[in-house]
Amino acid sequence: MEDQRTSFEFDKESLALVEKIIARYPPGKQKSALLPLLHMAQAEAGGWLSRETMDYVASLLKLQPVEVYEVATFYTMFNLQPVGNCVIEVCRTGPCWLNGAEEIIAHLEHRLQIKAGETTPDGKFTLKTVECLAACGNAPVMQAGIKYYENLDVEKIDAFLDDCSSKDATTRQNPYK
Amino acid sequence: MGIRILTAQMHIEGIQQLDVYRRHGGYEAFRKVLNAMSPPAVLEEVKLSTLRGRGGAGFPTGMKWSFLAKNTGKPAYLICNADESEPGTFKDRYLMEKNPHLLLEGMMISAFALEAATAYIYIRGELFYVHQILERAIGEAYAAGLLGKNILGSGFSLDIHCHPGGGAYICGEETALIESLEGKRGNPRIKPPFPAVSGLWDCPTVVNNVETLAAVPWIIQNGGKAYAAIGVWKSTGTKLMSACGHIRKPGVYEVEMGLPVEEFIYSDEYCGGIRNGNQLKAVVAGGSSVPILPAALILKTAKGEARLITYESLSEGGFESGTMLGSGGFIVMDHTTCIVKNLWNFTRFYHHESCGQCSPCREGTGWMEKVLHRIETGHGKMEDIDLLSDVAKNIEGNTICPLGDAAAWPVRSTIRHFRQEFEDHVNQKRCPFSK
Ligand SMILES: Cc1cc2nc3c(=O)[nH]c(=O)nc-3n(C[C@H](O)[C@H](O)[C@H](O)COP(=O)(O)O)c2cc1C
Ligand code: FES
């Protein structure tokens, strides 16, 4: 992690959003804006939360850095290590398993030549398994960025991977923009 | 086709837009409340309806509202629980995506009854695209004067905000949700105090599920009595069932309480029967946490009566031979399913999602996952089956929040009803279902 340090700051537009989000909570309760801000920061700071990024969010909300670390480490949506430009999250829970999630994961592992939890050497893709995405009626399911991909089969995955093949393809997106 | 309360408008093109929603009678109930009703009168209608919480616990909504502490000098808050993370459940997502204004109208009326000036929708972080749909709808409502200060000149003011989670099943539990909304880790709180007395920022708070709140406009428009007239006994109104697994037609279905389970599974109006001409083996009827039942016991109670979709009928027979309606996440398994592997999958889920506060849950779920993996992969011993039951018993009732129970019940019920299948794994030293 040491050599991957990034210094990150929101741009003007994002800072205006930050103000808007903080105003949703009563005065003095700005800590409530932590999850929204971490989502924004992760999307804009390369898809993961470095210590510097978390410290920056702490300073925006007038929190101790440790208050941010303990939250970022609790929630599974936050990546605490660098990830690829396209992050694929495949559901592995019961209903998706009943409908072939294992084959879907195996196909992705084969196509990307990595195991779930890993990033391709070219930094393009990260493959993650996640728990039930509230889409079990359309199992198997995966998520990439904020988009859902449902009723998955091998063809749909191949089409998705083709879409991601351009050099600057990314699943990162500030969800508030 | 039964009555539609929550899904009546789903087929209407553009219903997500305020003007279309209004053209189809939307916000009339809220108008009625503002023009002609007092907060206690709204509460009375909801009590008369005997609407019960649709998040899983089935607690009477009117009663919950009446517990809200009054005259505390602190503001009251309404929180909509849109964390929807119970495996097998996807009805709240459907409702919010297809008809966001219905939820907002339900929240407006509920906040009026609770005299709350601020309400939050806590929506799971993975559903950011639904968060965006809701924010668009909220923006429309502000622009139309349905939110904000002095709404339509009534003197009632209300703000509604969305708040995303970060990926944690436990944040569906209401006190963990409140911690999370305060910007903390989602560790459940010890109760009492209940949120109605001390919830968000120590203020009186009501937490209700999306589906619960979305039923409120209909109750106001048609009266609590009309709602109570639908359904059977203490299970009134309609329920959204999320149906998935090995059925021909997975999806979200609105059913009148009292529909026979057999009709729900086999009728073409609902699940359409089992896929590929296979046989029904087992059903988890109310989300992954509730006890699993084998085909015979999900279709009929141990007494031989038809099992109905109601709180009472599904729990008939207690944990010996019954289950629970829970969230209405209806997971159907056919005869090709390895029940042990299914249980291992669910147990892995609970281990992954345990917040780690209570050692019986944190350690116990890990042990159960390990033992189940051992059995599933053919390395189990006969004693392991009782060991599993033992660990589950030691979790049950010994944790701050019900996640421990939710992890224990599937284990105990699977062993109770499918013990032979565990023994087959041990005897054959392999999974009998693996190819
Ligand atoms: C582990 C756990 C997870 C839960 N997840 C949810 C959920 O995703 N959505 C929900 O509405 N209720 C969930 N609940 C139930 C809530 O604690 C609470 O009872 C509910 O939101 C109350 O609303 P209702 O009375 O309208 O059902 C969960 C409970 C537990 C113990
Ligand atoms: S189990 Fe995959 S979406 Fe629910």
Residue A99 lies in a domain: yes
Domain end position, chosen among A20, A43, A74? A74
Would you tell me the crossing angle of helices B359-376 and B339-353 to the nearest 10 degrees? 150
Percentage of chain B beyond pLDDT 70 is 100
**A142-165 residue pLDDT tens:** 999 999 999 999 999 999 999 998
- Cβ pair B182:A139 closer than 8 A: no
Distance in angstroms (rounded) separating the CA atoms of residues A103 and A116: 13
pLDDT beyond 50 at A2: no
Residues A60 and A103 in one domain: no
Bond into B193 cis (ω within 30): yes
Give residue A149's domain range.
Answer: 86-166
Domain end position, chosen among A74, A94, A121? A74
- Cβ pair A98:B246 closer than 8 A: yes
Ligand 2 pocket member A138 (CB < 6 A): no
Identify the segments of chain B with pLDDT beneath 70: 1
pTM metric for this prediction? 0.97
**A41-52 residue pLDDT tens:** 999 999 999 999
DSSP state of B169: G
pLDDT at B51: 98
Domain end position, chosen among A74, A100, A116? A74
**B289-310 residue pLDDT tens:** 999 999 999 999 999 999 999 9
Residue with tokens 């009678």: B25
pLDDT at A167: 80
Distance in angstroms (rounded) separating the CA atoms of residues B359 and B411: 18
pLDDT beyond 90 at A166: no
Confidence bin at A6 (pLDDT 50/70/90): low
pLDDT beyond 80 at A4: no
State the ipTM, two decimals. Answer: 0.96
pLDDT at B278: 97
pLDDT beyond 80 at A5: no
pLDDT at B2: 81
pLDDT beyond 60 at A1: no
pLDDT at A165: 84
Q: How close is the nearest chain A Cα to the Cα of B153, in Å?
A: 23
DSSP state of B331: E
- What's A103's domain CATH number? 3.40.30.10
Count of domains observed in chain A: 2
B184 and A CB contact within 8 Å: yes
Ligand nearest to the Cα of A139, by number:
2
- Cβ pair A76:B168 closer than 8 A: yes
pLDDT beyond 80 at A3: no
Q: Compare CB distances from A75 to B166, B182, B333 and report the shortest one's residue.
A: B166
Confidence bin at A7 (pLDDT 50/70/90): confident
**A66-93 residue pLDDT tens:** 999 999 999 999 999 999 999 999 999 9
* CB contact at 8 A, A131 and B353: yes
Neighboring chain B residues of A75 at a CB cutoff of 8 Å = 125, 165-168, 186
Ligand nearest to the Cα of B191, by number:
1
Neighboring chain A residues of B355 at a CB cutoff of 8 Å = 74
Residue with tokens 């904020």: A146
Q: Compare CB distances from A175 to B131, B167, B182 and report the shortest one's residue.
A: B131
Residues A105 and A131 in one domain: yes
Which residues are registered as beta bridge partners of B253? B241
Residue A61 lies in a domain: yes
- Cβ pair B93:A134 closer than 8 A: yes
